[in-house]
Structure 1
Amino acid sequence: MGMKDAYSLTEWSNVFRLTVSSNKPKAKLRADNRDIPVGGSVTLTCSVDSSSSGWKYYWYRGEKTSEPLTTQDAVLQSNGQIRVSQGESYRCRGGRGDPVYLTEYSGYIRINKIVPNKAVVTLQPNWTEIYSGETIMLRCEIHDGDTEWEYEWKSPRYTSTNNNEYMISKASSHHSGNYRCRGKKKNAKHVSTEWSTYIKLTVSDNKPAPVLTVSPSWLSPGDSVTLSCEVEHPSAGWRFYWYKTVPKLSDYSYIYELLPGSINGTEQDSYIIHGPTHTAGYMCRAGRGDPVYYTQYSKPGFVWSGDVHSAVTLKVSPDRVQHFTSDSVSLSCEGNFTECRVRRFPEDRYRSDCYKWRFMTGSTCNIKRYQQSDAVYWCESGSGEFSNAVNITIQKADIILVSPVHPVTEGQSVTLGCKLRRGQLLSNVFFYQNDKLIQNDTRRELKISAVSKSDEGFYKCKYSGEESAQSWMSVQVNKAKPTLTADRYIIPVGGSVTLTCSVDSSADWKYYWFRRTSGSSALQSITNVKPVNKVSEGGIYHCRAGRGDPEIFTEYSRAVTVRKTVPNKAAVVTLQPNWTEIYSGETIMLRCEIHDGDTEWEYEWKSPRYTSTNKNEYMISDASSYHSGNYRCRGRKKNAEHISEWSADIKLTVSYKADIILVSPVHPVTEGQSVTLGCKLKTGELLSNVFFYQNDKLIQNDTRRELKISAVSKSDEGFYKCKYSGEESAQSWMSVQGE
């Protein structure tokens, strides 16, 4: 073998290109799910964006550790994948070579572990349909949970945390949408419940407008009228408020007066008015929540009465129901008023005033020919009263029935006729009642000498093949109205009140008794047919009478309110400051306290000047001699005819710029108790060397500053005063009561 030449060289190898990046690669981490289901796991995948291979992957759990996970901590799926079942923050990085070259860490992925506890969203109040301005509370409740939760909400506007309550205090359309929540374990941030089911809230910017219906539309004597108020979503917590309309002529509108028993609203969406006699207008609205959110007022609804009464009366000329289109009609308001307006209510239109559609002269509305319309017409006075109502119909036909526009009363005579457009009253006319022929002779009129209830009905006439429209003739029965009286209006503890129902006419009456509470318009029947009824429950009472077969009833009596004294609910007057002797210009507060009471009371005060109601505090802010005298109070249960007994009197004495007062007990003292009286200057100091008097008789005049009675007796009762250095206090009564 020959020796190689020391200077011989191989050819160069192929070029192998190395690329050295100055930027350290960063691992990327992704998860197939961010929430670990109950009993399940989540797969994490780590990768490095590099064309080269040989990477191994390192896994890390928690944000404060640099120690990689082992197979004991997780399940390695393959190089680059791991399956975890513990909620926490995870990251990864890659490494290769020897020594190992490591990439940068990936970003964190937070994996949340779902626990079996279930989150539920509840509403308070439980309404999903709400209105702009309302307040509603959403609450996140976790079933079978404990108090160690934080909360997360998803709403249409943002995600909030921590609180289990989500308050919407002034709802708007922006709050419409889906709401859900979940709970997160405190001290275990990556453990949570599943998201609750969505609750969808709908917020309407438009206040709901209730619809009022009045039944019946036309009154008969003794009828009850039912008001019904219909509002969207009637089961959604609404209470109903009922109003009587009072005409306000200055701006052609109405003011509203709450009807009895609806100051706090009624649960029922109907309200019964017992025995109304005149035309009246009503409105309603609904409210719910705290503070109360009110709907709009309904449009007015009316009950019509044909009864003519003295306050204001509507007269029609010509005096008939039917009129030709070519007729001129005058509607006149008569009565004791200074101002009046005529209104109408067509079947298919809104109510309106005469000045908008005809000519008003004083209190008369003149409707010219071809300007009439079918409608109910009535008057409204400036003093807030409604007249009788009349129903006028306008006929395009050439024949009309001439019938009275007002109701007729039993026993009166009435005449009906038939008239052609050209003016003459006809003879040889057929008259019909309720489509039954009742007269077909040569007479031109149908005369009823003494009408009875059986004559009420629809009438029409026929002449030479032409037929008039029919009109209703109303016949009123002269119903008696009973008188209801009470021997007293407050039921004492354990006692009763005697009610008497009487009818000014012949005998054989049965009497029917009814009671309701101030919180309801529904009458409860009381089993008793006698004219005298002893009652032991507070309430608002009515009666009526009936007789005959079939039975004819009187109207309802007026209401009589009887209140029941509540036992063990004594009212007490307290003073702040606790002085019964005060001076002109001072301020003092009297407070009515009801022992063992609650917040559902209204209060009544009796004072030297007047009686006031409602508030439990009675403020005298600038005392004068007019405020001197006895004060007492009692409580009245809201929405119930219950009343406490009157408190004991407290006597206040207001002196004009006095510099000295007697210090004496404000409440009565009991025999055997000790009592101390003193004398005090306006500057505040208690005095010594004071003279004390009982009933103007000097009883102590030594150096002591107080008059002490170790055990009072009835003989110590009386008027006391004190004197010091020529100044004399006003006298005050000290009351002594037996043990």
Structure 2
Amino acid sequence: MLFLSIFTHMCINTERPKPVVKVSPDERVFRGERVTLTCDIQRAGDIQWTYSWFKDGYTFYPHTTTTTTTTTTTAKISFSADKSDRAEYSCRGERSDSQRSDTSAAVTLTVSGESTLTVTPDSPVFTGETVTLKCVIETYSDWRYEWYKDSVMLQTSDRYTVNRDTLTIRGVITSDQGQYWCRGRRDKRPNSSQSNSAVYLSTKERPSLSSPHLSSLTSTVTLKCVIETHSDWRYEWYKDSVMLQTSDRYTVNRDTLTIRGVITSDQGQYWCRGQIRSVSSQPNPAVYLSVKGELNIIVLLNSICDHLFR
């Protein structure tokens, strides 16, 4: 009986200790939260251990921003959670006599809750437009949203409407240009989100048009409309207050109006306007097309011919 008792005691002592990994505050954390992983070797006694950490099965070397704490039987690493920290973590201990513990069971760290922004319409936007920014936060639905321009928190006002996850800017002006970002807050943990990317809203004044100018003045007249910015404007052409459409004598081709077979009734004020999205360009000065009678044209042509052939 004495022999058996001693043998059993020896077997117990030769069992390798089993580490356990604990996660604080939880295995599901939010981006930016402080996470602590603790490797605790069970039944380790008073022997000094050194510890190895594993991330997804590979040796994990904590980055420079990680805090490491080691005692006789525990090791802790603490860091600010980021997307790249999503992984399975395990640990193992080794004594000075090269005896190792078992490798712990892995714990899975889930990092979520980034906030991202979408902007409608695309930047740049023109003065007078309405812009909508939407804040999307992964996981959870009970967020209270905060909106910022640069470092200033925005509140609902005459032009700004903050409606939970949506910020609306009406009647954009040039001073609305800047960096926009959002953040979520809630009463339970995680209690604050992190904004992973702000968006820069670029604003432009509604462009003014150059006056339509005559590219040629013969029996066919060509007028061209010039807008300094963008290439995807839709152009409208007007004679006096009447919008012109392509017809037998009028050809409207984007920024160009062509009048063929000019007649006296074509005389008048011509002007153009550009539109993009819901924005119209600033009104441009009109040009006045003066049409002389047929007799004058013949006389003019004859005088040119006389000059050439004398």
In the superposition, the TM-score normalised over structure 1's length comes to: 0.23
Say which structure, 1 or 2, has more relative contact order (CA 8 Å, 6+ apart): 2
In the superposition, the TM-score normalised over structure 2's length comes to: 0.49
Relative to total residues, which structure has the larger helix share, 1 or 2? 2
